[in-house]
Structures are given as structure tokens and as C-alpha cells.
Amino acid sequence: MTDKISLTYPRTLYPAPPFPDQPQPAPGLAQKMDPAPDHGEQSYRGSGKLVGRKALVTGGDSGIGRAAAIAFAREGADVAISYLPDEETDAKEVLALIEAEGRKALALPGDIKDEAWCCELVAKTVAALGGVDILVINAARQQFREKIEDLSTDDFDQTMKTNLYALHWIAQAAVAHMPAGSAVITTASIQAYDPSPILLDYATTKAGIVAYTKALSKQLIERGIRANVVAPGPIWTVLQPSGGQPDEKVKNFGKDSDFGRPGQPVELAPVFVLLASKEASFINGEVYGVTGGKGVA
């Protein structure tokens, strides 16, 4: 007897635009989004792929980082999440979900634009979890500016420090603690390959993340550590309504994907799990696009 397979038409699997107006001040809270993003709270099921592993995820309070943190815990890993203090209410939900799986959860509120904090959050992770062997550098700043004249030096500096400097500081601090078999995963974007005119600084950093990670992968593989990139397309996260896109673009976010909708954070979770797991033992320096059909080349 053959078991019946349940399949779902992917274009209608999740909500499609138009979405309600929902501007928020940065950094924003996922709790206030309508419709609520799916980070895997109810939908992700683990299968023991990361039992005994120790993960650090930046930007783990919401969006893609939250989905990765939930998935890692359900696959058996202990998880530390870093986030801004203003994101505490979202972070508490994630920490509770990690602990509900019987895993250790570590809260790391702070600003990764500060080099000293980047070093400290790694040290705190190692002390609390007993090490680190999965590093997800995901936290990002995205604030649209219509014209180059509107993109101030302070804007440019904040985006660079959040998206690129912190990547370097955290990776530099973490690799000394990471044994052979560990994995580094960074979050880039389709913006690295098809940049939007209103995201000059953000797109620049995302291209930099791809180049940095590819170069880093060549260094770290000598130590037995793999480094790869996940490059999302339009994903329904709080980054968008909190200044990442104009209100009208948020209302129609993801409409021009092949699916007619944005992706949900949970739809990236299996890619992060794969790249973190021993099943990806021959994958290094790669860019995995999850773009809704837009591609990354």
C-alpha cells in the first residue's frame, strides 16, 4: 500500500499582496506585522540533524534569523541570539521557543555596530553554551533613500557597520573557538546581484557579504570550517515596514516574484539547517538563492 503524499500549490501557500499599511519605526517588531510572518513557530518540524550543536545567530529575534534559531533548536542545537534591546519583546518569544525544545537559549541584547560588543557576545556564547560550532551572521540594517543626495554619511556608516563591519568582527572573534566540522553562514540578498536604486548602501553591503564569505571560505576550509551564503529575495520580515521599503512597496511586497507573494522566513530555514549540518560536508563558498524565482546570477 502506498502512503498518500500531501502536496500544496506553492503560490497560495502563504499570504499574497496587497497587504495593509503598517509603517513602524526602525528596528520594528514582528509582533506588529499584518499578516504575521511565519518563522516556523508552528510549521517547522525537526529531525535531529543538529543534535548537540551550539549555534550563535545574530538578528535572531525576528525574520530570517528567528526562523534559523527556531529550526536549529528543533534539530537539537543550543542557540544564542543577538538582537537590539528595542527588540526584546520579539526576542523573548524566540528564547521561549528554544527552551520549549529542551535546548539552552542565550539572550544577547546589544548593538553590533560596537566592535567590543561583537567580541563580547561571542565570548558570552562560548561561556554559556560551552562552545560555538554554527555561526549565522544575519543581522542587517536596511533603510531606503530615494536619491543619492538623501543618503547621509551617518546612514552609510550605520549600514556599513551593521552589515559588514560586524560581520568581520564577529567572525574574527568566533573562528578561534570553532572546531573542525563547524559552519559559518552569512545572509546576503538578491540585492547583491540586482540592486534596487533606493537601496544603494544596503545593496553595496550585500555584495560585500558575498565576496567576504567566498574569500573567508577559502581561508577557513584549511581549518575544516565551511562558510556559505544564503541570498534571499523578497521575504516577509519586519525589515520591510520599518523603513526598509516605502509604504506602497510594502503593500505590494513580493507581488513581482514568480509566486506572486513574498517568501516567509520559515521557507529559508531548511537551507540554513542544511548548511549547518554534516550533510553539507562538501559545500563551501557557495551562494544559495531563495529568491522566489529571481535567481542570483
What is the mean predicted confidence (pLDDT) over 189-209?
97
Q: Amino acid identity of 190?
A: I
In a domain, 123, yes or no: yes
In a domain, 18, yes or no: no
Q: Quick one: angle between helices 166-174 and 115-129, nearest 10?
A: 40
The rounded distance, in Å, linking the Cα atoms of 193 and 249 is 20
Least confident of 6-10, 95-99, 223-227: 6-10
Integer-rounded Cα Rg, in Å, for the chain is 18
What is the domain-level CATH number for residue 104? 3.40.50.720
SS3 state of residue 96? helix
Whether the upstream peptide bond of residue 27 has omega within 30° of 0, thus cis, is yes
3: confidence class by pLDDT, cuts 50, 70, 90:
low
Buried b (16+ CB within 10 A) or exposed e, 23-43: ebeebbbbeebeeebbbbeee
Round the average pLDDT of the chain to a whole number and report it. Answer: 96
Number of domains in the chain: 1
78: confidence class by pLDDT, cuts 50, 70, 90:
very high
260: confidence class by pLDDT, cuts 50, 70, 90:
very high
Active site residue 202: yes
- pLDDT at 297 exceeding the cut of 80: no
The rounded distance, in Å, linking the Cα atoms of 118 and 218 is 23
Across the strands, what pairs with 107? 81
The rounded distance, in Å, linking the Cα atoms of 265 and 258 is 17
What is the mean predicted confidence (pLDDT) over 82-109?
98
Q: Whole domain around residue 73: which residue ranges?
A: 46-290
Complete DSSP assignment for 219-256: HHGGGT-EEEEEEE-SB--TTIIIIIS-HHHHHTTTTT
The rounded distance, in Å, linking the Cα atoms of 188 and 232 is 7
In a domain, 39, yes or no: no
Grid coordinates belonging to 293: 524565482
- pLDDT at 232 exceeding the cut of 70: yes
In a domain, 248, yes or no: yes
295: confidence class by pLDDT, cuts 50, 70, 90:
confident
What is the mean predicted confidence (pLDDT) over 141-156?
97
The rounded distance, in Å, linking the Cα atoms of 163 and 179 is 25
What is the mean predicted confidence (pLDDT) over 87-97?
98
In a domain, 59, yes or no: yes
277 within 8 A of 219, measured Cβ to Cβ: no
What pLDDT, on the 0 to 100 scale, is given for residue 7? 87
Task: Determine which one of 44, 83, 165, 202 is catalytic.
Answer: 202
In a domain, 107, yes or no: yes
Across the strands, what pairs with 239? none
In a domain, 113, yes or no: yes
In a domain, 22, yes or no: no
What pLDDT, on the 0 to 100 scale, is given for residue 5? 72
105: confidence class by pLDDT, cuts 50, 70, 90:
very high
Buried b (16+ CB within 10 A) or exposed e, 157-188: eebbbbbbbbbebbbebbbebbeeebbbbbbb
What is the mean predicted confidence (pLDDT) over 249-262?
96
Please state the pTM of the whole predicted model.
0.96
Sheet of 134-137: strand order equals: 105-109, 78-83, 54-58, 134-137, 183-187, 226-232, 287-290
The rounded distance, in Å, linking the Cα atoms of 139 and 272 is 15
Sign of CA dihedral 277, 48, 96, 288: positive
What pLDDT, on the 0 to 100 scale, is given for residue 294? 87
- pLDDT at 2 exceeding the cut of 90: no
- pLDDT at 225 exceeding the cut of 70: yes
**Cα angle, residue 72 at apex, residues 70 and 73 outer, rounded to 5°:** 65
Q: Which of 93, 67, 94, 90 is nearest to 80 (CA)?
A: 94
